[in-house]
Every structure is written in structure tokens, then in C-alpha cells.
Amino acid sequence: MNNKERILIAGILAAIAIMVTVDIFSDYEEGGQIWHILVEGTVGLIALSGTFYVMRGSYTLRHRLTEAQSDYSALKTKAEAWRDNSRKYLDGLSHSIDQQLEIWKLTTAEKEVAFLLLKGMSLKEIAAIRQTSEKTARVQSIAIYAKSNLSGRSELAAFFLEDLLVPSIPDHK
């Protein structure tokens, strides 16, 4: 239910509560029976309760949305700070990988495919990005593995990333 629908429902329920209240006073002044006034009063209270329930739900959703936006902004800021702080290392790693691909004598197309493989993309995704067929991407990836003497994607990734992902060893004092 969107916000406009919530407001509409709350407005209808509030209008019902007001009309019932007016009717109750009218019935009371005309000497209406107490059971009738109590039934109408119950209907009015239910409508009023519904109004508050819908408005409270709307407030809660708005509050959660504000919190989520704040959390998202904080995470986005942290990610940007990490990226900025790590930029020189990432650029250096990218340059080092490029140098190794040169040593392996990969073509420009094979280098592009190698970088996309290292990013974890599938052959289908690589073909779509490079606007080639999936078969072409597969052939280029096979050429990369042959020129590098690696058996596949896992070894390619491990070749470049293995030393970066050394587990930290806790100090024993």
C-alpha cells in the first residue's frame, strides 16, 4: 500500500468516525436507545482506531525509510572512502596485472577478456560487454590459459590474488 492509499484510507476512516460522532449526538438529543448509541459509538471507535493504526503504520514506514536512507548514505560514504584510500593500490595492482599479461604476450582482446574473467564475469557476460559471441569469448579465454600455462579461471585468479589474500595470523603474547 503506497502513501496516497494510506492517506485515503485514513481520511475515509476519520470521516466515518466524525459522521458517527455527529449521528451519536443527534440520536442522544432525540432520545435514542442506549444500545443503538453504544453500537454506533463502537463503530466510531473502530473507525478512529483504524485511522490511528493506518497513520501509525505510515509514520513507521517513513521512519524506517529515513533510517534506511541514512544507513545507505553512510555505507556509500564508507565505500567511497575505501575506494579513494585504496585507489593507488588498486591502480598499482591493475598495472602489475597488465604487465604480466604483456609478458604472456596476450593480444588486446585477450587482455580485456582476462580482466573481465578476473572480475568474475561469465563468458556470456563477457561476450555481451565486448559485443562478441560467447564462442569468441570462450576461444579467447582458452588462449589466455594456454599462453599463461594456467589450467583455468581459478588458477588465473589465484595467480594474481593469492598473495593479496594472506590470512592474518594473530599475535601470541
Q: CATH: 1.10.10.10, 1.20.58.340, 3.30.2350.10, 2.40.340.10. Which one for 104-164? A: 1.10.10.10
Take residue 97 and report the three cell numbers written for it.
596485472
Domain range summary for the chain, segments of one domain joined by + = 1-85, 104-164
Give the pLDDT confidence of 8-31 residue by residue, as tens digits. 888 888 888 889 888 888 888 888
Positive or negative, the Cα torsion across 124, 128, 129, 133?
A: positive
Query: Which value, in Å, is the radius of gyration of the alpha carbons in the chain?
Result: 33
Of 71, 21, 55, nearest in space to 41 by CA: 21
Give the pLDDT confidence of 38-66 residue by residue, as tens digits. 888 888 889 888 888 888 888 888 899 99
Q: What band does 165 get if pLDDT is binned at 50, 70 and 90?
A: low
Helix (H), strand (E) at residue 46:
helix 34-103
| Residue recorded with cell 569468441 | 136
